Amino acid sequence: MQAETFSPSGKAVAIFSKPGHEQLVTLVPELLKWFQEHKYDVVVDSETSSYAPRTEVVPREEMAARKPSFVVVLGGDGTLLSAARAVSKAGIPVMGVNLGSLGFLAEVPIDDVFPTLQSIEDNCCQFETRAMVHCDVLRKHALVGQYDALNDVVLGKSTVARLNYCDLFIDGAFVSSYQADSLIVSTPTGSTAYSLAAGGPVLEPSVEAIVITPVAEHSLTHRALVVPNTSEIEIVAKTGRDEAYLSVDGQIGIPIYDGDRIRCKRSQYRVKLLRFQGTFFDALRAKLKWGQR
C-alpha cells in the first residue's frame, strides 16, 4: 500500500483515550506539556478529561467539528475504531498509541510517542487511507439505521442457545441461506479482526474487496466469500419470533427482527491512519508470530 506524506494544516490536536487505563495517569500530562511547548491547541474526550484538568472537553461525536489537525488515540484498536468513526467524515488523520497487547491499527508503542510526534512536527510522517463499509438497516421498507464501520458489521444471534438464520444476496442475486452463530461483513482492514478468528482470509489493506465470513456455520461446505467492494451485499434476517443483533465494529448495536434487511456496500468515507513503522506484512509477522518457531 502506498502511503502519502502528512503535513499538518494547523496547530490543533484532539486526544481520545481508553477509559481507566493506568498509563494515562502519567502519559496524558506529558502529552499536554509537549503540545503546549509546541504551541498546539488541545481538546480531549470525556474519557481523557480526568487526566487533563483545565483542558477543554469535547464529546467524541463533536470532535470533527473542531477540525483538529490530527487525533491521538491512547488505547488499543477498539479505541481507535471509535475515534475513526468519529472523524472519518471530516478526513482527519488518526495516530494510534498502543497501550494494549495485540493491535493492528494502534501501532505506536508508548516508548515511541514523542519521537513520533516530533516526526509529525518535522513533516516526516505519512498516512494511509483505509476503506470503510456502509450499512443500512431496513425494516418494512423503512430505513431504521445507518452506520459506517472501519472493521466490520456482524449479524449475530441474541441468545447463546440458538443459531442465526439469514439469506445472503450479492447485487440482487441469491447466494445462499445460512445457519450460523454470526455472519461477518468485513473490510480489508477488518480481515485481521473477528473475520480472521472465524477462519476468514487475510486481505492486504489496499485490496478493493469485502469479505463475508460465517461463524460456526451449520453446513461444513460454507466458507468465507470475497467480493468486489463495488458489490451491494444484502442480508435478510430469518429470526421468526426471536430477534438477532447487528454490531458495528463490535461497539454499536441494534436489534434485528424477522424480515429486516441489512444492506452493505463500500462507504463514501475513508479513514486516514498515520503510519510510522514497517509494512503490513511486518505487522503480520509481529502480531501473528508468522515465521517464528
Domain boundary, last residue among 74, 91, 123: 123
pLDDT in tens, 185-213: 999 999 999 999 999 999 999 999 999 99
Quick one: 173 and 118 in the same domain? no
Say whether pLDDT at 106 is over 70: yes
- Residue 8 located in a structural domain: yes
- Residue 279 located in a structural domain: no
Own/partner pairs, 158-162, CB within 8 angstroms, 24+ separation: 158/242, 158/243, 158/244, 158/245, 158/255, 159/242, 162/242
Is the separation of the CB atoms in 107 and 57 below 8 Å?
Answer: no
Domain boundary, last residue among 123, 142, 161: 123
Domain boundary, last residue among 58, 91, 123: 123
Percent of the chain residues topping a pLDDT of 90: 69
Longest dimension (CA), the chain: 61
**Cα–Cα distance measured from residue 80 to residue 94, given in angstroms and rounded to the nearest whole number:** 8
Confidence of residue 163 (pLDDT cuts 50, 70, 90): confident
- Residue 277 located in a structural domain: no
Torsion of CA 172, 263, 199, 268, to 10 degrees: 110
Domain count, the chain: 2
Say whether pLDDT at 224 is over 70: yes
pLDDT at 160: 56
**Residues annotated as part of the active site:** 77
Quick one: 247 and 156 in the same domain? yes
The pTM (predicted TM-score) of the whole model is 0.90
Confidence of residue 293 (pLDDT cuts 50, 70, 90): low
Quick one: 143 and 264 in the same domain? yes
Quick one: 177 and 109 in the same domain? no
Q: Phi and psi of 274, rounded to 5°?
A: -70, 130
- Residue 26 located in a structural domain: yes
Mean pLDDT of 5-20: 82
**Cα–Cα distance measured from residue 167 to residue 26, given in angstroms and rounded to the nearest whole number:** 51
**Cα–Cα distance measured from residue 189 to residue 207, given in angstroms and rounded to the nearest whole number:** 9
- Residue 290 located in a structural domain: no
- Residue 278 located in a structural domain: no
pLDDT at 243: 84
Say whether pLDDT at 229 is over 70: yes
Domain containing residue 153: CATH number? 2.60.200.30
Query: What range does the domain containing 115 cover?
Result: 4-123
pLDDT at 240: 84
Confidence of residue 101 (pLDDT cuts 50, 70, 90): low
